[in-house]
Amino acid sequence: MREIVLRKFKEIFGDVSEEGVYFAPGRVNLIGEHTDYNGGHVFPCALTIGTYAVVRPRQDNLLKFYSMNFEELGIITSSLSDLKYEKEADWTNYPKGVMWAFEQKGFHINAGMDLLLYGNIPNGSGLSSSASVEVLTGYILRDLFGFDVSNQEIALIGQFAENHFNGVNCGIMDQFSIAMGKKDHAIFLDTSDLTYEYAPILLEGAKIIIVGSNKKRGLGDSKYNERRTECETALQELQQVIGINSLGELSEELFETYKSAIKDEIRIKRAKHAVYENQRTIKAVKALKNNKIEEFGLLMNASHVSLRDDYEVTGVELDTLVEAAWNQPGVIGARMTGAGFGGCTVNIVKDEYVDQFILEVGKRYKEAIGYDADFYVVEIGDGPCKL
Would you please indicate which residues are annotated as catalytic (active-site) residues? 174
Identify whether the C-beta of residue 185 lies closer than 8 Å to the C-beta of residue 45: yes
Identify whether the C-beta of residue 21 lies closer than 8 Å to the C-beta of residue 387: yes
Identify whether the C-beta of residue 165 lies closer than 8 Å to the C-beta of residue 100: yes
Q: How distant, in Å, are the alpha carbons of 53, 54, 122, 207, 386 from that of 139?
A: 11, 12, 22, 30, 9
Burial 229-247 (b: 16+ CB within 10 A, else e): ebbbbbbebbeeeeeeebb
CA distance 297 to 251: 21
State in Å, rounded, how far the first CA of the chain is from the last one. 10
Best CA proximity match to 176, nearest among 134, 148, 221: 134
Q: What are phi and psi of 381, to 5 degrees?
A: -120, -175
Which alpha helices (H) appear in the chain, and where do they start and end? 2-13, 93-104, 129-145, 151-164, 173-179, 224-238, 252-258, 265-289, 293-309, 315-326, 354-369
